[in-house]
């Protein structure tokens, strides 16, 4: 920047301090420029960023007088006041305190201090002066110390340090302030600048006003150049919750892949959540300690599907052996908070069964909240998000299942996907999906998928058609994106964090 | 999750070196590695393969998967010797109706092996046995008992023996009250007036299933060479599977298996029974489901790797497998033997139209409008605490409780408002203004049932009536709806009287908004004035749907 441009960029505040820069003393500048300390310092900071001066701001500990200290400097420390009274003749403790006009604490401290210096002794409840008369006139280290305050902490001599340590144990005699010590030197550029005539550029336009624009009064004048580098105060704005941002994206990906969204209740009958998915009634997942039961029931859908589900459980369908136990209708009526979005898939299949055969096909997805009765820690919670998908297609096969999952996770940012054998009561074959994390260099387990068993599909859909199905967890993907390590942070609603997290861009 | 831990040394001696490729193979067998350290390797066993919980069985099954000694494993079984008999009294019918038993000879136990047997027993109790409810196992040294055995049920006061780890004789009731194992499993027998028991030919009580064995007859030691196994419960199929799993594992340890005669009141059975199940398999179905073009001899080889045998469309299923219910279960095992990593992911060309749910789109639009005004979206749990939903809100109302919640979040939220106030309460030091909103479901009691309702809530801190009303007006304008406002009939005392309005659309009430009463703010330790809105979104959405 040339000298001319530099002059054009000076704000009025800066111009006020420039004539006094040669004094090289901040306090003088404050006094002479008639700016308050904060404005003067800002002006110096601006000049520093323009390389006019080399500014140093140091924090220094300065010891100063406290409220009691100010008083004692005038009247003398309590031990001095006490000494004056008792040096003449022995005096009772009560009288001494009264005459010296000291509070209990002060009196105690004063007596202690004098005793320590062997100036007094107490006999039969009376204070007796035992020191040398010449000691009386000598000022103690503490007395000397309060007279020289304020002083920088770093500049204390060993005697002063000793006095300070004694005094700081007593109430409000000394305090320690953190002071800013401002110092600077002019740079070469600065030395040139202070010789310049600042008025040579004339009156510069500061803020552009509506009046100026309308009256064109800016014509023939120069605009002051702004410091375009320096920081401005931060602002924040409205933003979607980060979990919802990622769910919106997931929705878009599935719909782009030709899937229709399924939505539905968070409360489900055990029938849709478990029984229709061939989960035996004594399966551990159906215990209170795994699933949230609500203590209410809802009646089951029409008999046909209830009967065919019962049959699938008791004796099997399509040549299956079934689970071979007595299926209890009452257990199926119990309401639960859904443990997986697969409850939506079973309902969707049932709805399709009401359509003509050729229309019983399609691709459906869901992303939604599910619940399990869990304690809460960094990797467990009682609410979590799952993404669900089903493909009903007479030509669908196992390789397609892997294909859809690979495509979805590639779009979610994990192109490297691995499939492993797994077990779920309602799918066969079953698959566990792992995605490779390129930075962590390891596989992340995301959840399950498979082809619905005939014991699921036949009662629900009324016929055997391969139904590809998956329900991996969603939270792990979004936590990875937002670099969140603790599940509890998802719904903590820390406003500062919500304002500062980056948005989902994919 | 059930874990099988194996000594690393043992695994490497029996199967092979544990390197990356071996770990991949273990995972691709359907038994992912949980961890490996210097001493041991821990492998997860899925609930469909309890047979693999015994290391002996895991070893031969996994080796077969790797191509060594493939095919159906034949286990010879000896006919019952004289006295190998269990007399089942009909008194057990109402308490624990079935038992299947076996005798195993030629065993050599050391401390390691005894530990292994107890470990298998415990894991089978937990999994297939459903914590001993469905099935429980008892193992007895032959030298301590005298066959034949009785299985019966009688008044618990009359079942007297010294239970394991005790020195004094106790009766059935005392065991449930005083013995640690008795107390743990007491719920399985509580309410029965008769308890089941096994006793030997000398009328010595051997055990009281599913609780505990006798200290005298129910403990195997390194001197034991022959054992008697009983498995009791409610589902004879499961009992047979459990017995078979144990027999296969013991046979791997060198044991010779002998059958027992089970004299039920109506019939006589013989156990164990190693006859494999026959199941049909269609090559066509296999290839169609997997998307492969396997030939019959390839399918045969793959099945043999998984421990089956195959000929002419028929598969013989090993007698320890409890999970093979249908052809698809065989097809999955074919896929596992083929290798999940050998399938090629493919997306078929079927044309379908994608669609996002219109209610979800509507919620996105509502939030867009509010984001434009600088409001920040928040999101809270559907479960909440009584402390926040009721006590701090000065509310007394019926709540919907979930059963046995493991946290203090034990009720379903019936509004979003208390959550917004909770957010202000938890963010006292964050820069104001804090203008926030939330969209989500709440749960409302509806007679005997529960209704789910989509809601919108807005909270402004600091906020006042006018600023919030401006926001509602703006929202209305943007969706082409004009809200009307009225004095609520039922004054919600969380607000300041005279500063709360009911929001209506076409005369239907949607909810309230207004200035929150300072007494509520004090409950939440909020230092700012707060304006709050909560409305039902479904009504709004329906009117918009009907118009379009």
For residue B383, the chain A residues in CB contact (below 8 A) are: 292, 371, 382-383
Contact A289 B406 (CB under 8 A): yes
Domain boundary among A200, A232, A264: A232
Q: Testing the interface with B: which of A493, A497, A499 to mutate, by most B Cβ within 10 A?
A: A493
Q: How far, in Å, CA of B277 to CA of B316, rounded? A: 6
Other Cβ atoms less than 10 A from the Cβ of A362: the count is 18
Closest CA to B347 of A471, A447, A413, A405: A405
For residue A237, the chain B residues in CB contact (below 8 A) are: 371, 374
Whether pLDDT at B322 is above 60: yes
Closest CA to B433 of B415, B408, B459: B459
φ/ψ of B28, rounded to 5, equals -75, -10
Closest CA to B425 of B348, B345, B527, B336: B527
Q: How far, in Å, CA of A380 to CA of B119, rounded? A: 28
Dihedral of the CA atoms A476, A477, A483, A488 (nearest 10)?
-30
- Work out the burial of residue A180: count CB atoms within 10 Å of its CB; fewer than 13 is exposed, 13-18 middle, 19 or more buried: exposed
What are the counts of helices (DSSP H) followed by strands (DSSP E) for chain B?
16, 29
Closest CA to B251 of B405, B148, B102, B112: B102
Q: Which residue in chain B has the smallest CA separation from A325?
A: B235
For residue B288, the chain A residues in CB contact (below 8 A) are: 397, 466
- CA B283 remoteness from chain centre: 34
Contact A238 B441 (CB under 8 A): no
Contact B354 A257 (CB under 8 A): yes
Residues 445-504 of B with CB under 8 A from A: 448-450, 452
A128: in domain: no
* CA angle at B447 for the pair B446 and B449, rounded to the nearest 5°: 65
Q: Which residue in chain A has the smallest CA separation from B410?
A: A292
A117: in domain: no
Q: Testing the interface with A: which of B315, B376, B385, B453 to mutate, by most A Cβ within 10 A?
A: B376
Q: Testing the interface with A: which of B357, B416, B439 to mutate, by most A Cβ within 10 A?
A: B357
For residue A489, the chain B residues in CB contact (below 8 A) are: none
Specify whether A253 is located in the same domain as A188: no
Q: Which residues of chain A have pLDDT under 70?
A: none
Look up the pTM and report it: 0.83
Inform me whether the C-beta atom of residue B291 falls under 8 Å from chain A C-beta atoms.
yes
Specify whether A293 is located in the same domain as A397: yes
pLDDT of residue A124: 81
Contact A403 B346 (CB under 8 A): yes
Specify whether A455 is located in the same domain as A496: yes
Contact A292 B405 (CB under 8 A): yes
pLDDT of residue A228: 84
With a CB cutoff of 8 Å and minimum separation 6, the contacts of B17 are none
Tens of pLDDT, residues B14-46: 999 999 999 999 999 999 999 999 999 999 999
Other Cβ atoms less than 10 A from the Cβ of A424: the count is 25
Q: Mark residue A299 as left, alpha or beta (left: phi above 0; alpha: psi -120 to 50; beta: remaining).
A: beta
Helices (H), A334-426: 342-353, 398-411
Q: Which of A294, A400, A491 sits opposite B400 (nearest CB)?
A: A294
A107: in domain: no
Question: What Rg do the C-alpha atoms of chain B give, in angstroms?
Answer: 33
B106: which strand partners? none
Specify whether A457 is located in the same domain as A379: yes
Tokens of A133: 């008369």
Contact B402 A337 (CB under 8 A): yes
B547 pLDDT band, cuts 50/70/90, is low
Inform me whether the C-beta atom of residue B325 falls under 8 Å from chain A C-beta atoms.
yes
Contact B430 A495 (CB under 8 A): yes
Q: How far, in Å, CA of A8 to CA of A2, rounded? A: 10
**Total domains, chain A:** 2
Task: Note whether A266 and A371 are within 8 A (CB).
Answer: yes
For residue B357, the chain A residues in CB contact (below 8 A) are: 261-263
A278: in domain: yes
A106: in domain: no
With a CB cutoff of 8 Å and minimum separation 6, the contacts of A121 are A115, A127, A128, A130
For residue B133, the chain A residues in CB contact (below 8 A) are: 282
Tens of pLDDT, residues B331-350: 999 999 999 999 999 988 77
Whether pLDDT at B548 is above 60: no
Domain boundary among A179, A205, A232: A232
Q: Testing the interface with B: which of A298, A360, A389, A495 to mutate, by most B Cβ within 10 A?
A: A495
Tokens of B410: 């034990």
With a CB cutoff of 8 Å and minimum separation 6, the contacts of A110 are A77, A78, A79, A81, A82, A100, A102
Contact A373 B341 (CB under 8 A): no
Q: Average pLDDT of B411-438?
A: 97
Specify whether A255 is located in the same domain as A186: no
For residue B20, the chain A residues in CB contact (below 8 A) are: none
- CA B434 remoteness from chain centre: 42
β-pairing verdict for B85-88 and A126-129: unpaired
CB pairs under 8 A between A and B: 243
Inform me whether the C-beta atom of residue B344 falls under 8 Å from chain A C-beta atoms.
yes
Specify whether A158 is located in the same domain as A297: no
Residue-wise DSSP of B216-285: TTS---TT---EEEEEEES-HHHHHHHHHHHHHHHHHTT-EEE-EEEE-SS-EEEE---PPEEEE--HHH
Which helix or strand (DSSP H or E) is residue B410 part of?
none
A458 by DSSP, 3-state: which? helix
Specify whether A255 is located in the same domain as A195: no
Q: How far, in Å, CA of A69 to CA of A170, rounded? A: 10
Tokens of A264: 């539905």
Residue indicated by tokens 């009141």? B265
CATH of the domain at A260: 3.30.930.10
Inform me whether the C-beta atom of residue B133 falls under 8 Å from chain A C-beta atoms.
yes
Q: Which of B360, B412, B450 sits opposite A263 (nearest CB)?
A: B360
pLDDT of residue A27: 87
β-pairing verdict for A362-371 and A260-261: parallel
Q: How far, in Å, CA of A343 to CA of A274, rounded? A: 8
Dihedral of the CA atoms B465, B470, B475, B481 (nearest 10)?
100
Task: Note whether A96 and A85 are within 8 A (CB).
Answer: yes
Tens of pLDDT, residues B38-83: 999 999 999 999 999 999 999 999 999 999 999 999 999 999 999 9
The per-residue pLDDT of chain B, averaged, comes to: 94
Specify whether A476 is located in the same domain as A357: yes
Contact B378 A493 (CB under 8 A): yes
A132: in domain: no
Q: How far, in Å, CA of A372 to CA of A384, rounded? A: 8
Contact B379 A243 (CB under 8 A): yes
Specify whether A228 is located in the same domain as A249: no
Specify whether A258 is located in the same domain as A381: yes
For residue B188, the chain A residues in CB contact (below 8 A) are: none
Q: Which residue in chain B has the smallest CA separation from A326?
A: B235
Whether pLDDT at B546 is above 80: no
Q: Testing the interface with B: which of A237, A327, A383, A398 to mutate, by most B Cβ within 10 A?
A: A398
Inform me whether the C-beta atom of residue B288 falls under 8 Å from chain A C-beta atoms.
yes
Q: Which residues of B229-239 are buried (b: 16+ CB within 10 A; e: fewer)?
A: bbbbbbbbebb
For residue A395, the chain B residues in CB contact (below 8 A) are: 348, 350
φ/ψ of B415, rounded to 5, equals -155, 165
Q: Which of A241, A256, A423 sits opposite B379 (nearest CB)?
A: A241
Contact B326 A422 (CB under 8 A): no
> Can you list the domains of chain B with their CATH numbers?
2-65 (3.30.56.10), 77-271 (3.50.40.10), 280-342 (3.30.56.10), 358-547 (3.30.930.10)
Domain boundary among A201, A232, A263: A232
Tens of pLDDT, residues B213-266: 999 887 888 889 999 999 999 999 999 999 999 999 999 999 999 999 999 999
Contact A455 B325 (CB under 8 A): yes
Specify whether A181 is located in the same domain as A285: no
For residue A240, the chain B residues in CB contact (below 8 A) are: 367, 371, 377
Specify whether A261 is located in the same domain as A359: yes
β-pairing verdict for B260-263 and B85-88: parallel
Q: Which of B407, B449, B452 sits opposite A296 (nearest CB)?
A: B449
Contact B289 A397 (CB under 8 A): yes
A104: in domain: no
- CA A346 remoteness from chain centre: 40
A450: containing domain: 244-500
pLDDT of residue B77: 94
Contact B382 A362 (CB under 8 A): no
A111: in domain: no
For residue A294, the chain B residues in CB contact (below 8 A) are: 400-403, 412, 450
């Amino acid at each position: 920047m040339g000298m001319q441009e530099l002059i054009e960029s000076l704000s009025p505040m800066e111009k006020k301090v420039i004539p006094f820069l040669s004094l090289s003393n901040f306090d003088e500048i404050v006094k002479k420029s008639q700016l308050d300390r904060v404005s003067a310092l800002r002006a110096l900071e601006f000049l520093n960023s323009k390389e006019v001066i080399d500014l140093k701001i140091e924090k220094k500990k300065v010891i100063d007088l406290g409220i009691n200290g100010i008083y004692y400097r005038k009247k003398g420390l309590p031990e001095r006041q006490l000494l004056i009274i008792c040096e003449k003749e022995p005096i009772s403790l009560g009288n001494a305190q009264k005459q010296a006009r000291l509070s209990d604490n002060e009196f105690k401290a004063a007596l202690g201090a004098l005793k320590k210096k062997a100036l007094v002794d107490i006999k039969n409840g009376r204070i007796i002066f035992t020191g040398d008369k010449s000691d009386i006139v000598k000022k103690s280290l503490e007395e000397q110390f309060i007279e020289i305050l304020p002083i920088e902490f770093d500049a204390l001599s060993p005697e002063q340090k000793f006095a300070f340590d004694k005094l700081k144990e007593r109430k409000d005699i000394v305090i320690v302030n953190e002071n800013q010590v401002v110092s600077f030197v002019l740079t070469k550029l600065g030395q040139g600048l202070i010789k310049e005539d600042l008025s040579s550029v004339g009156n510069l336009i500061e803020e552009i006003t509506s009046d100026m624009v309308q009256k064109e009064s800016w014509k023939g004048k120069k605009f002051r150049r702004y410091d375009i580098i320096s920081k401005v105060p931060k602002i924040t704005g409205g933003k979607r919750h980060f979990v919802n941002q990622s769910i919106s994206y997931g929705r878009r990906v599935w719909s782009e892949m030709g899937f229709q969204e399924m939505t539905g209740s968070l409360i489900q009958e055990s029938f849709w959540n478990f029984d229709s998915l061939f989960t035996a009634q004594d399966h551990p997942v159906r215990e209170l300690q795994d699933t949230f039961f609500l203590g209410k029931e809802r009646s089951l859908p029409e008999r046909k599907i209830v009967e065919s589900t019962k049959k699938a459980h008791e004796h099997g369908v399509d040549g299956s052996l079934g689970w071979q136990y007595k299926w209890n209708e009452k257990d199926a009526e119990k309401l639960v908070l859904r443990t997986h979005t697969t409850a939506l898939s079973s309902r969707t299949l049932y709805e399709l069964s009401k359509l003509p055969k050729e229309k019983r096909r399609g691709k459906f997805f869901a992303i939604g909240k599910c619940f399990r009765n869990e304690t809460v820690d960094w990797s467990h919670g009682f609410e979590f998000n799952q993404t669900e998908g089903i493909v009903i297609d007479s030509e669908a096969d196992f390789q397609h299942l892997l294909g859809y999952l690979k495509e979805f996770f590639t779009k979610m940012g994990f192109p490297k996907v691995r499939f492993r054998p797994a077990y779920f009561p309602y799918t066969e074959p079953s698959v566990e999906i792992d995605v490779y994390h390129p930075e962590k260099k390891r596989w992340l387990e995301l959840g399950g998928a498979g082809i619905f068993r005939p014991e699921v599909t036949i009662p629900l859909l009324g016929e055997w058609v391969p139904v590809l199905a998956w329900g991996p967890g969603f939270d792990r993907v979004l936590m990875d994106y937002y670099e969140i390590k603790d599940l509890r942070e998802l719904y903590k609603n820390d406003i500062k964090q919500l304002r500062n997290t980056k948005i989902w861009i994919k | 999750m059930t874990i099988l831990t194996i000594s690393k040394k043992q695994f490497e001696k029996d199967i092979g070196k544990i390197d990356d490729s071996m770990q991949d193979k273990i995972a691709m067998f359907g038994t992912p590695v949980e961890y490996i350290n210097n001493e041991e390797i821990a492998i997860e066993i899925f609930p469909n393969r309890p047979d693999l919980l015994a290391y002996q069985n895991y070893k031969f099954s996994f080796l077969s998967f790797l191509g060594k000694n493939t095919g159906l494993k034949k286990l010879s079984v000896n006919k019952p010797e004289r006295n190998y008999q269990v007399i089942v009294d009909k008194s057990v019918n109402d308490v624990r109706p079935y038992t299947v038993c076996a005798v195993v000879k030629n065993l050599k136990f050391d401390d390691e092996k005894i530990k292994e047997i107890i470990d298998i027993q415990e894991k089978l109790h937990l999994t297939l046995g459903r914590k001993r409810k469905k099935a429980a196992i008892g193992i007895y040294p032959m030298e301590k008992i005298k066959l034949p055995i009785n299985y019966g049920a009688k008044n618990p006061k009359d079942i007297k023996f010294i239970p394991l780890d005790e020195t004094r004789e106790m009766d059935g009731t005392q065991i449930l009250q005083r013995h640690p194992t008795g107390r743990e499993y007491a719920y399985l027998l509580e309410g029965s007036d008769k308890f089941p028991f096994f006793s030997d030919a000398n009328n010595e009580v051997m055990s009281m299933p599913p609780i505990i064995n006798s200290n005298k007859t129910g403990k195997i030691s390194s001197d034991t060479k022959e054992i008697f196994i009983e498995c009791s419960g409610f589902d004879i199929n499961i009992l047979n599977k459990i017995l078979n799993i144990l027999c296969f594992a013991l046979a791997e340890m060198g044991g010779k298996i002998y059958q027992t005669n089970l004299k039920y009141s109506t019939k006589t059975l013989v156990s164990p029974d190693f006859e494999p199940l026959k199941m049909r398999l269609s090559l066509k179905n296999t290839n169609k489901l997997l998307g492969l073009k396997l030939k019959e001899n390839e399918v045969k080889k793959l099945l043999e790797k998984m421990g089956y045998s195959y000929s002419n469309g028929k598969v013989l299923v090993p007698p320890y497998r409890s999970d093979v219910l249908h052809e698809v279960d065989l097809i999955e095992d074919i896929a596992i033997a083929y290798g999940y990593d050998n399938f090629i992911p493919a997306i078929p060309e079927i044309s379908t139209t994608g669609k996002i749910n219109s209610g979800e789109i509507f919620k996105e639009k509502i939030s867009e409008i509010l984001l434009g005004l600088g409001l920040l979206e928040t999101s809270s749990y559907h479960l909440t605490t009584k402390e926040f939903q009721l006590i701090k809100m000065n509310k007394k109302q019926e709540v919907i409780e979930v059963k046995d919640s493991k946290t203090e979040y034990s009720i379903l939220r019936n509004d979003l408002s208390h959550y917004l106030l909770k957010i202000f309460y938890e963010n006292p030091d964050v820069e104001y203004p804090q203008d926030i909103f939330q969209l989500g479901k709440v749960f409302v009691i509806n007679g005997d049932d529960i209704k789910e309702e989509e809601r919108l809530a807005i909270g402004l801190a600091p906020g006042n009536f006018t600023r919030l009303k401006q926001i509602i007006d703006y929202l209305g304008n943007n969706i082409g709806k004009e809200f009307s406002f009225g004095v609520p009939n039922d004054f919600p005392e969380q607000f300041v009287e005279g500063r709360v309005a009911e929001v209506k659309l076409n005369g239907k009430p949607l909810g309230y908004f207004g200035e929150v009463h300072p007494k509520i703010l004090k409950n939440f330790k909020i230092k700012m004035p707060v304006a709050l809105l909560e409305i039902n979104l479904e009504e709004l959405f329906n009117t918009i749907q009907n118009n379009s």
